[in-house]
Chains A and B, each alone.
Chain A
Amino acid sequence: MKITRADVEHVAKLARLELTDEEAATFTGQMDAILAYVDKLNELDTSAIVPTAHAVPMENAFRDDVATDSIGIDNALANAPSRVEGFFRVPKVIE
């Protein structure tokens, strides 16, 4: 087993997901199976290969430093579950 239940619970917590006992058990098995499948790649010798960060062989896509129009406050807030004045409104954040 590469993936333990503790791993699943940790990842779930980081992703703010609440799992039932059943779900946690299911995902532990599924994630372990996925990793075992990907592990097949370790059979290849990749020591001389540069790590791939991107699947597309492209580099250097730039834009010039020109300010363009924004979409406006109302558009920006159109999908906000809650707003106040021109702000997104969120539950109190304690620092």
Chain B
Amino acid sequence: MNYQAVIGLEVHVQLLTNSKIFCGCSTKFGAAPNSQTCPVCLGLPGALPVLNKKVVEYAIRAGLATNHTIAPRSVFARKNYFYPDLPKGYQISQYELPICINGHLDIEVEGEAKRIGITRIHMEEDAGKLVHADVPGVGDDSCVDLNRACTPLLEVVSEPDLRSADEAVAYLKKLHQIVVYLGICDGNMEEGSFRCDANVSVMPVGSATFGTRAEIKNVNSFRFVKQAIEYEIERQIELIEEGGKVVQETRLFDPNSGTTRSMRGKEEAHDYRYFPDPDLVPLVISDDWVEDVRLSLPELPAARLARYQAELGLPFYDAEVLTASRELADYFEACLNRYPQAKPVANWVMGEVTRGLNDSGLAITACPVSPELLAELLKLIDAGTISNKIAKTVFDEMWQSGKAPAAIVEEKGLVQVSDTGEIEKIIDEILAANQGQVEEFRGGKEKVFGFFVGQVMRASKGKANPAVVNDLLLKKLKG
């Protein structure tokens, strides 16, 4: 029998706020355990949570950028369960009345466009962290660090509209790109700022009812999402073919083996007994507030991609590469502001700049060559001061020393030679030393022309102006 996979994703997006969602403790990553805690996030009796306004603004941003309706009224709820990383015995979340409803994202897989529904986005607090690491004297016990407790999260819940691991990854990448563009999340999957749970089921092709689903947790990279979903689809199909039944359960992805395994023990407590949190008053969002946020939205990747093609005349490929991250696109535009020719700037950013970043493992925001200096370099090429080839040498030097291109050209004596007298002299010497090839050329073998250009460039250490060399060489050879 042929099977069809059905996938829905739940994504947790950690928000880039200074303080936690319901208290003033810092959200900085990597502080000493339990040093960023207070009565509210420790869940001490009598403490009163107060909502961080920035979290609401970020939730509206995310909602608008993913085509949601912003609910005029939403309510926080308590989700009750026991776990040592959850000090209150409940997590403050949203349940029946989330802040964003009915959104969607358009993805493209193998050239085919598809609209993926998003059921909702809601705000909630993160739990603390259980540490099993080697703390001296802890023995078999576990350690709890509550620094992360109460860190603001958005949970983005997709419809079960995804039909393959590739679609799931495309959706996830798009969502990731948007929240990073919006400046509401750092997108760091390793540190857990963007995490994904996948609901996976299979059904016979053409079936009208979905199969029983398993929820896969702990998939913290795009590659793992693909791996985990593909493994899970295979597992379920095999199980059914062998006459077995898929059980609804939570499964943990193991990146080492690329498999998923059942997480028994956490099952029974799926009765969360949600109810409105009496500590938090309802959230009412006016149309004016929504409009204010809408006006403050940055240009989103899809719009930027379209603009690069339509207004800057860049090919789709270039536009897609440049807009892949907001930082790269910002770098490109900063350079373009000083040197307004899109295609050469695009070539350099996608070429030398990207190569340099890949080789050194740096992010674009740490690029040693600033966009302003790159623009200076391109101007030097335009002015004929240096050739394209020498420009690459200068660029490498800029990368190493951070100096301005003009200074490097001067220091290293790299100024392009356009003086016809000087170039003529070199050409004469080359021609005299290679009489055989001169005869060949004159006998109609025009291919040797390239040989002469190469020789002249080499003799001038690359500094001869190639256009001038071409001109003079032709004249001399034909004349």
Contact = CB atoms under 8 A, between A and B. Distances in A.
A70 B38 contact: yes
A89 B52 contact: no
A52 to B, nearest CB: 9
B437 interface: no
Mostly, the B contact residues are: loop
A53 B142 CA distance: 37
Contacts, number: 139
Contacts of A93: 83-84, 130, 142
Interface in B242-262: 252
Nearest to B50: A63
B265 interface: yes
B93 to A, nearest CB: 14
B366 interface: no
B145 interface: yes
A77 B143 CA distance: 12
B315 interface: no
Interface string A53-94: 111101111111111111111001101001011111111111
A16 interface: yes
B426 interface: no
Interface stretch (B112-120, B281-289, B462-470): B281-289
A84 B34 CA distance: 12
B136 A85 contact: yes
B47 to A, nearest CB: 11
Interface string A32-70: 000000000000000000000111101111111111111
A63 B24 contact: yes
A89 B138 CA distance: 8
Contacts of A6: none
Nearest to B263: A95
Nearest to B280: A61
A1 interface: no
B295 interface: no
A62 B24 contact: no
Contacts of B138: 84, 87, 89
A65 B135 contact: no
B4 interface: no
B54 interface: yes
Given A14-B273, A73-B34, A95-B263, A67 B283 contact: no
A86 B34 contact: yes
Given A70-B36, A71-B39, A89-B138, A62 B52 contact: yes
Contacts of B73: 59
Contacts of B137: 84
Contacts of A63: 19, 24, 50-53
Given A54-B282, A66-B18, A87 B32 contact: no
Contacts of B280: 61
B37 A90 contact: no
A7 B127 CA distance: 29
B37 A64 contact: no
Interface residues of A, number: 40
B271 A65 contact: no
A79 B276 CA distance: 28
Interface string B32-70: 111111110010100000111111100000000000000
Interface in B125-166: 130-131, 135-138, 140-146
Contacts of A55: 278
Contacts of B142: 89-93
Contacts of A61: 50-51, 280-281
A73 B32 contact: yes
Given A63-B50, A65-B54, A67-B19, A90 B84 contact: yes
Contact of B146 (A60, A68, A79, A88): A88
B141 A84 contact: yes
Interface string B439-450: 000000000000
A93 to B, nearest CB: 5
A58 B137 CA distance: 50
Nearest to A13: B268
B432 interface: no
A70 B25 contact: yes
Interface string B402-443: 000000000000000000000000000000000000000000
Contacts of A66: 18-19, 24
A25 B17 CA distance: 50
Interface of A: 10, 13-14, 16, 53-56, 58-73, 76-77, 79, 82, 84-95
The 10 A-B pairs with the shortest beta carbon distances in the complex, nearest first, are A68-B24, A87-B143, A65-B54, A53-B276, A88-B144, A62-B53, A86-B33, A67-B26, A90-B84, A67-B19
6 contacts: A61-B50, A63-B52, A68-B24, A73-B32, A73-B34, A91-B141
Given A14-B269, A65-B54, A87-B145, 15 more contacts: A13-B268, A53-B97, A54-B281, A59-B73, A59-B281, A62-B51, A65-B55, A67-B25, A70-B38, A84-B143, A86-B145, A87-B135, A88-B144, A90-B142, A93-B142
